[in-house]
Amino acid sequence: MTEQAVQQGPQRVRMWFDPTCPWAWMTSRWLGEVAQTRDFEVDWQVMSLAVLNEGRDLPEEYAARMPRSMRLTRLVTAARAAGGDAVVKPLYDALGERIHHQRRKDDDSIIAESLAAVGLDAALVEESDAHDTTLRATHQTAIDLVGDDVGTPVVAVDDVAFFGPVVSPAPKGADALRLFDGIVAAASIEGFFELKRTRTRGPQFDITADPEGEAA
């Protein structure tokens, strides 16, 4: 990617998310705002924390979340198969509002309401492994780009992918654009791999939210 390409912006932006992950939710709110302001489309893709953590020795509390991850990533994958790419972001928005803002844990009602909000078949509320091959392939695309020692979210600028950005709260306005431009600039450096600091707060779903949150 040349300096001129950075100035013009990326040709393709993709984000991989797990609907259960609050950090991915924060990133999606930021990226959605940037896309609206800069007038580009984001290719929203699914990756699964359940698939990522298969065979790993997990803390009991974290392991207990994996069935929910698998159910909801299966749901979004099945919804894409039924309704096409255009339903993925609206369904993610509907799920995320109920999971992260309303902090609800009842998957059946969350799924039924979210499907109704997007106009999808209510029968999708039933969990199915029919699209697991597609789910795993989509997940693997992210891992192939970014490596297997990361989680969700994954954001790719053209063909350069990073884990993150991990942000709380989601930047807005000029801050959102400045962060995006920094990521585009980092993606333009062929040998750039990692920049990290320890998190000091949990997910804040708005500026006034409780800073203590559940990390995925």
- Are the C-beta atoms of 140 and 150 separated by less than 8 Å? no
pLDDT band at 213 (very low <50, low <70, confident <90, very high): very low
Task: Provide the whole-model pTM.
Answer: 0.88
Domains and CATH numbers, the chain: 3-187 (3.40.30.10)
How many CA atoms within 13 Å lie on the side-chain side of 19? 30
What is the pLDDT at residue 37? 94
What is the pLDDT at residue 8? 60
Question: pLDDT digits over 24-68, tens only?
Answer: 999 999 999 999 999 999 999 999 999 999 999 999 999 999 999
Question: pLDDT digits over 98-128, tens only?
Answer: 999 999 987 789 999 999 999 999 999 999 9
Percentage of the chain exceeding pLDDT 70? 91
Are β-strands 42-46 and 160-163 bridged in parallel, bridged antiparallel, or unpaired? unpaired
pLDDT band at 204 (very low <50, low <70, confident <90, very high): confident
- Are the C-beta atoms of 18 and 72 separated by less than 8 Å? yes
pLDDT band at 203 (very low <50, low <70, confident <90, very high): confident
